[in-house]
A = this chain, B = another copy of it.
Amino acid sequence: MMRVNLVLNGFGNVGKAFFRLVEEKKDFCRKRYSLDLEWSALLRRESGVVFTPEKRKKLAAAISVPDYAAALAWGKKPVLEDILQKDHENVLVDCAVSDNRTGEPGYERIMSALKEGWHVVTADKGPLVFGWKRLRDEAYRNGRSLKMSGAAGAALPALDLATKSIAAARIISVEGILNGTTNYLLTRMMEGGLFSDVLAEAQEMGIAEPDPSNDIGGWDTAAKILLISNAVCGTDLNLDDVKVEGVTSIPESVITSCVLERKKLKLLGRMRYEGEEVKLEVVLALIDESHPLYGVDGVDKGITFVTDTMGKITLTGGKSDPKGAAAALLKDIVNIYLR
């Protein structure tokens, strides 16, 4: 049995879902993978808590009811170094949200954790968009894992496929529906809805954020295709290298004609080689029935890899919600130890 100490940073929707999931899956992970997952600490911007068995129980009880405030009102922000238990494996699970341009506040936190010899599993795109290569190099130097399924596809295991399942193949191009929110909007528009109406509907349902610009402007898709490209092609590109189109200004005539032709309008993140150079873009494209992502509707996601030796491989589905993201984080943790 391997003891693994977890430090959870961030307690928004994904952080809470992750906490619940670990509580639910603890026994399964002990039996199936001989991994003993233990909570060390919960860090939040305003406060934090070092877990004791009583505190864990209290938190577990609290998050099964709508009011989390009581459970989080404990103690002072703990110091990372105090939490680190040298005798055990330590994993920082990062569910906070950082800025894509500066990478902060996550970049410094992840860099410190890697320097201290922790593994890091993260759903936070910002630090990775800002400095994936430097973080990965630091992880490598320390023989630690830095895993980011939660940030690039979540329950759609795009990165596992790209880095493991097609290892030794050369990736010729990648094309993905990587953002569930915009795919939902486009699907509803194909069914006859107006952009403003379906956006309001999606916000009502919690599918779109109150400020939806990161999704509908194509930036979330851009960040994901960038992360995938940097991870699998060894590039060190940044957001400025991605040509980005959003879904905000689609003429009604385009929708009508593509419905008539049985085509579908999709926001695609694309990576392809132009000679030795990697080109990244986010584009609105019309795809027909023969396209492997044609059936990917609603909040679903999908990605296609074209390779030299394995042909074309497509991955679709995977829950697009906090529980799916939490499951991706837990999967990454198990895979640090799984042979």
Contacts and interface: CB of A to CB of B under 8 A. Distances in A.
Interface of A: 21, 25, 28-29, 32-33, 145, 155-157, 160-161, 163-170, 289-290, 292, 294-295, 304, 307, 309-319, 323-324, 326-328, 330-331, 333-335, 338-339
Contact of A164 (B295, B317, B338): B338
Contacts of A339: 145
Contacts of A168: 25, 28-29, 32-33, 327, 330-331, 333-334
Contact of A294 (B160, B295, B334, B335): B295
Most chain B CB within a 10 A radius of its CB, from A168, A323, A326, A334: A168
A215 B231 CA distance: 38
A155 B305 CA distance: 12
A309 B317 contact: no
A304 to B, nearest CB: 8
A165 B170 contact: no
Nearest to A315: B315
Nearest to A145: B339
Contacts of A317: 292, 304, 311-314
Contacts of A307: 327
A173 B29 CA distance: 20
A309 B326 contact: yes
B156 A313 contact: yes
11 contacts: A28-B170, A145-B339, A155-B313, A157-B161, A161-B315, A164-B331, A165-B331, A169-B331, A289-B295, A295-B295, A309-B327
Given A165-B161, A166-B157, A323 B309 contact: yes
B315 A314 contact: yes
A86 B304 CA distance: 41
Given A295-B289, A309-B21, A167 B315 contact: no
